Amino acid sequence: MGLLHFLKPQRFLHVAALAQPLSSCLSSGINRIPGLLPLPEPIKAGLRLASSAPATMEDILSKSVPPLPPYETKEKCPPLPETQSLHFMHYYRALETGERATFLGKLATEFGVDHAQVTELSSRVVQAQQKRDMGTVLQVEDRLRYYLTPQYKLLFSHISKLEGGMKFLVDLRADLIESLASKLAEGPHIREMNGVLRSMLSEWFSVGFLNLERITWQSPCEVLQKISEYEAVHPVRNWTDMKRRVGPYRRCYTFGHSAMPGEPLIVLHVALMQQIASSIQAIVKEIPPSELEDGNKIKSAIFYSISLTQQGLQGVELGTYLIKRVVKELQVEFPQINEFSSLSPIPGFTKWLVGVLGSQSKESSKSDLFLDSECKEISDLTGLPFPDSLKRLFSSCEWMRSERLVKTLEAPLMRLCAWYLYGEKHRGCALNPVANFHLQNGAVMWRLNWAADTSPRGGTTSCGMMVNYRYFLENTSANSARYLRTKHIEASDQILGLVAQFKKNSKL
């Protein structure tokens, strides 16, 4: 009789919830779970059978994604069993990359918004508006807003409350972004789910929930290791290099979140100098003058690297807030600092330049981008006709080893790069993503620097050039608003002069 009572329908739900952890015990030959009575043999046999049958994607999704509660009982809906979300997380982590894309596609397509319900409520809103019944309009609009909630949003919300759940969702969105970029998963539903999750993460990772931390050589080794691995702009060569970047005349700051302890979300490296640096070699390679900082020598703060460590947080505004917080920290520590600037890479310039050169006539011995005298000098130095010499030059950064080529190419590449930063647009904004970021923050495109990054990466991506975006604190808000509203770029006389030279000498 006791066994029959145990097998009542409501007990099956409890047994099913325990099936996953119990099956691992059974596979190890354990017949008794600590704190529970020995399992009857029929129950053990049933659990072995359940654990031997692999769950399908459809099974996992149907059991893990909660239905949207009726509007009338939305405030009284009982909490979901944690086992459902934990099983979802465990199953997803075990999938391969292609399987994850398929799984996310099913989740987005089959567990989104109830479109039939939305259509019906939309028509009811129109009818209420026609009757000028504002009370009914507001009630139906509230119901419509509720039913515009995708079903999978409830799952994400529940997972976020579990230990490790926030990190799981950040990683899941990184998979979403990768699947969309590689076209493993496509379609409006998957793009919509990416947007929904981004909005949720933007709320959870808003500036009020973020913790600013300065990283020093005394910080936990695990954190220093992660920062070294995450550095995306100027790779850290070794521990000595890392020690220098958090030592005297240097600052390293991160944003963290209480739901992801020990995980830096975004990292900002700052160099404290006497003047605005024009070369990255002076920052990451030269040894600071002493082990003790002399505040009298610190007049400028240079933001030389900012790296998002969690790809799932792309589109969540972290970098802007980090720079603003760091500026305030530095103003307190060094009131004498009167210059805030970046020293930024120019990713994409070489690729853009090669594309523009390739689009020109292959038969022409002249160029619309270079002066005749520049074409002749380049041909003389390379021993090749001008178009061929350009292809050879920019296929690698070997030309940077020749002092004569470096001198000859300085003028044309400087004006071309100035135009790329200032004149090339995407939907009205600066085409270059780094430029767009700093201009949105209200910075001024201040100075273009030749031979500023002579590393292989710098030569390959931007022909060795870097740019300073200057933050004049009293004008950043106005500059940002103007750029966002009218797409106007605030630029220095040097940048505008190079742009004017480009327009005069080029036919692009």
Q: Which residues are catalytic?
A: 344, 438
- Structure-block tokens of residue 121: 């409520």
What's the CA gap between 484 and 265, in Å, rounded?
26
Give one word for 315, left, alpha or beta, with left for phi > 0 and alpha for psi -120 to 50. Answer: left
CB 390 within 8 A of CB 378: yes
Cα 209 versus chain centre, distance: 18
Please, is 15 exposed, middle or buried when counting C-beta atoms within 10 Å of its C-beta (0-12, 13-18, 19+)?
Answer: middle
User: Of 280, 309, 119, 92, which Cα lies nearest the Cα of 213?
Assistant: 309
CB 252 within 8 A of CB 268: yes
| Alpha helix stretches (DSSP H) within 75-206 | 82-93, 97-110, 115-130, 134-147, 151-160, 165-182, 188-204
What's the CA gap between 304 and 341, in Å, rounded?
9
Phi (first) and psi of residue 153, to 5 degrees: -65, -35
CB 341 within 8 A of CB 302: yes
- Structure-block tokens of residue 157: 């919300």
Please, is 261 exposed, middle or buried when counting C-beta atoms within 10 Å of its C-beta (0-12, 13-18, 19+)?
Answer: exposed
What's the CA gap between 212 and 330, in Å, rounded?
13
Q: What is the 3-state secondary structure (H, E, C) of 6-23?
A: HCCHHHHHHHHHHHHHHH
Report in angstroms the alpha-carbon separations of 10 from 5, 7, 13, 49, 61: 10, 8, 6, 20, 22
Cα 399 versus chain centre, distance: 33
